[in-house]
Structure 1
Amino acid sequence: MTKEPIYRVTFFNQGQIYEIYARQVYQSDLWGFLEVEDFLFGERSQMIVDPAEEKLKNEFAGVQRSFIPMQAVVRIDEVDKEGACKVTEASGGNVTAFPFSMAGAKPHKGK
């Protein structure tokens, strides 16, 4: 029996870096977006509650699928087991979102 993969997705969102875990990650039919489904959060039966993970759990409550812009994605890792989801401030780091604008974009015409 093969085990379903678990993915750690790290991305920028409004000046913060989100790190979430999910079972399904794939390129969206919507151009320029990544789709993330089947979010994984820690068990509620744990004695210690992580406020950052609770914030994310509440933010994604009721969300069946999330569309994340490709340029916001920092990295995607396939991992052996899920960890704690977290949100950290992006300021002061050496990672910057790739600048991207569709304004004025023209279709490419091959030669």
Structure 2
Amino acid sequence: MAKPLYKITFHNHGRVYELYARHVASSALWGFTEVGELVFDLRDGVLVDPTEERLRDEFGDTRVLHLPMQSVIRIEEVAKKGQPAIRDPATGEKVVTPFPLPAKPR
């Protein structure tokens, strides 16, 4: 039987983050939620989703996150992984860092 998959939504640096993980529990640190075994798509080559790449760069080497309980918005057990996201808390819109455009010649 496969391990359960969780979607964790939490506040981080003024944004709302959505990550997927295989382990969620009460942390040994009082007032924290423990999130481990983060799940990212393992695609090599062409960058498909810049948000997932950014999240993988930030959390890719993380063994366990200890999130303050007050920053956790929701933890859902899901059947399959969706796209991780970074959202604006006021609008709920995805925050996407656009690719840099070449400078206009003068």
**RMSD across aligned positions (CA):** 1.5
| Alignment correspondent of 1:75 | 74
C-alpha distance in 1, partners of 2:10/2:51?
15
Q: TM-score, normalised by structure 2?
A: 0.80
Instruction: Determine if the alignment matches structure 1 residue 25 to structure 2 residue 24.
Output: yes
Aligned residues: 92
**CA deviation after TM superposition for structure 1 residue 84, in Å:** 1.1
Q: TM-score, normalised by structure 1?
A: 0.76
Query: Equivalences for 1:30-69 in 2 at 5 Å?
Result: 30-45=29-44, 49-69=48-68
Q: Give the aligned residue type for 1:65.
A: V
Q: Aligned in 2, Cα 1:24/1:61: closer, same or farther, shift over 3 Å? A: same
C-alpha distance in 1, partners of 2:45/2:26?
34
| Alignment correspondent of 1:10 | 9
Query: Equivalences for 1:82-93 in 2 at 5 Å?
Result: 82-92=81-91
C-alpha distance in 2, partners of 1:92/1:53?
20
Q: In percent, how many aligned pairs have the same letter?
A: 43
Secondary structure, counterpart of 1:71 in structure 2: helix
C-alpha distance in 2, partners of 1:39/1:46?
21
Q: Give the aligned residue type for 1:4.
A: K
Q: Aligned in 2, Cα 1:92/1:82: closer, same or farther, shift over 3 Å? A: closer
**CA deviation after TM superposition for structure 1 residue 90, in Å:** 1.1
Q: Give the aligned residue type for 1:74.
A: I
Moved over 6 A (4+): none
Q: Give the aligned residue type for 1:75.
A: R
**CA deviation after TM superposition for structure 1 residue 3, in Å:** 1.9
